Amino acid sequence: MTDAIGSRTDGSRRRFALAGAAALAVAAFTAFGFGDATGLLRSVAHQVPELGLLVLAMALPMMAGGINLAIVAIANLSAVATALAFARLGGDGLVAPLALAFGLAVGGGCGALIGALVAHARIDPVVASLGGLMVASGVGILVTNGSAVTGLPDFVAAAADRTVFGLPLMTLVFLAATALVALLVHRAPFGRRLSAVGHNAQASLYSGVDVARVHLTVYTLSGILSALAGLVMLSRFNSARMGYGDSYLLVTLLAAVLGGVDPKGGRGAVWATVAAILTLQISASGLNLLGASQHAASVAWGGILIAKLALDRIRA
């Protein structure tokens, strides 16, 4: 009951699901054959950081037995906040770190608000994050009138193409965030509490776990990770607007579940979800290049999610 998250997981189950996704990717590749493999890798590498951060933002609340429907809205609101700060203050000297911190703080604040609703007002996470989603996107649309915030300093867009030690900067940011989350979930005492709350909140309350605090922490972290994803999008799109990436919700859920996060809470492996989003993105690109309709892709994602849940059910 109080094991750290991940140590109880059934590896073969997860291996199986991922092998399925990988097989899909392989099928796509062999059927098509790409002109340039490095080009494809670069294409995927460009997309993975923002999606991966959103997957982490989704996976954490799920491990605690909840969900955060507001991740994309929070990401955009944070990006808008940072963009507005740049627009107001310019991009010199200390402004850049301040603007970035402002965006992260907005994201963390939104997350904390949802967390407080879940933890203290004891509202179901679906409702709490739905309210958060409406408020975040409503506020974002009001301050921007629904249009994109542009006119960012040059280094914002340049950051998307920046490499450090041969690796894209955004990939490094993503890997660092993943490592931190993995450390927290798998190695730190917090992971044990998170697992306990996810398995059975009531029982862990009686065994002395500060459940409210775990929820608050989880949703605040989820908000910060969403904000980080928003900042990556800000750089990649060189602008911020409510509505970017609205369609990411399903794919983040799918990656989290494929990566072995138990949707009922209590279980999850951080690195496996990262592998899942990688595989998903490679297969998505494969489908794109095969000329499959994007609607077919959303049917496939939904179908795979249900199939994975069914598989878990059979093996349970």
Partner 1 sequence: MTLRLKSLFAAAGVAGLAFLGVPSAVSAAGAKPEIAVVVKITGIPWFNRFEAGVKRAGDQLGVNAYQVGPTAADPAQQVKLIEDLIAKKVDAIAVVPNDAKVLAPVLKRAQDAGIVVVTHESPGQAGSSWDLETIDNREFATAVFQKLADATGGKGKFALVVGSLTVPLHNEWADIGLAFLKAKYPDLKPVADRYPVGESLDDSYKTSQEILRAHPDLKGFVAFGSQGPIGFARALERQNKTTKEITNVGNVLPKQAAPYLKKDQISEGFLWDPSDAGFGLVALAKKVIDKQPIETGIELPGLGKGTVEAAQHVVRFKATRTFTKENVDQFDF
Partner 2 sequence: MAESRPETRAIRRLGAGMALLLVGGGLFVPGFASTDNLLDVVTSAGIAGLFALGLLMVLIAGELDISFTAVASIAQFGLALLFTRGDLGWASAILISGGIGLALGLVNAAVVTWLRAPPIITTIALLNVYGGGLALLSRGEMLYDFPVWFSDAAVFRVFGLPVSLQVLLLAVATAATLVLGRTHWGLTLRAAGGNREAALRQGVGGVAVAAFAYGWLGFLSGIAGLAQAQLLQAVTPGSLIGRELDVVAATILGGASLAGGRGSVGGTLLGVLFIALIGNVLVLSGLSPYWHQAVTGTVLIVAVAPFLRGRRRAAIPVGAS
Residue 40 within binding range of partner 1, rule CB under 8 A: yes
- Distance CA(232)–CA(103), nearest Å, equals 11
Q: Does 127 sit near partner 2 (CB under 8 A)? A: yes
Residue 245 in the binding site for partner 1 (CB under 8 A): yes
Please name every residue paired with 167 in a beta bridge, in sequence order, or none if there are none. 164
Picked from partner 1, partner 2, none, the partner binding residue 36 (CB below 5 to 8 A depending on kind) is partner 1
Contact track, partner 1, 290-309, x by CB under 8 A: -x-xxx-xx-----------
Q: Mask 252-281, x = binds partner 2 (CB under 8 A)?
A: -xx--x-----xxx----------------
- Of 182, 97, 109, 184, the closest CA to residue 139 belongs to 109
Integer Cα distance of 126 and 147 in angstroms: 28
Q: Is 233 a binder of partner 2 (CB under 8 A)?
A: no
Partner whose footprint covers residue 180, from partner 1, partner 2, none (CB < 5 to 8 Å by kind): none
Q: Give long-range contacts, CB 8 A cutoff, 24+ apart: 235-239.
A: 235/156, 235/157, 235/159, 235/160, 235/170, 236/46, 236/50, 236/160, 236/170, 238/150, 238/152, 238/156, 238/157, 238/160, 239/83, 239/148, 239/149, 239/150, 239/152
Binding span for partner 2 by CB under 8 A among 25-33, 38-46, 60-68, 81-89: 60-68
> Beta 163-164 vs 167-168: how paired, if at all?
antiparallel
Interface positions with partner 2 (CB under 8 A): 64-67, 69, 117-118, 120-128, 130-139, 141-142, 145-146, 197-198, 200-202, 205, 211, 215, 249-250, 253-254, 257, 263-265, 293, 295-299, 301-303, 305-306, 309-310, 312-313
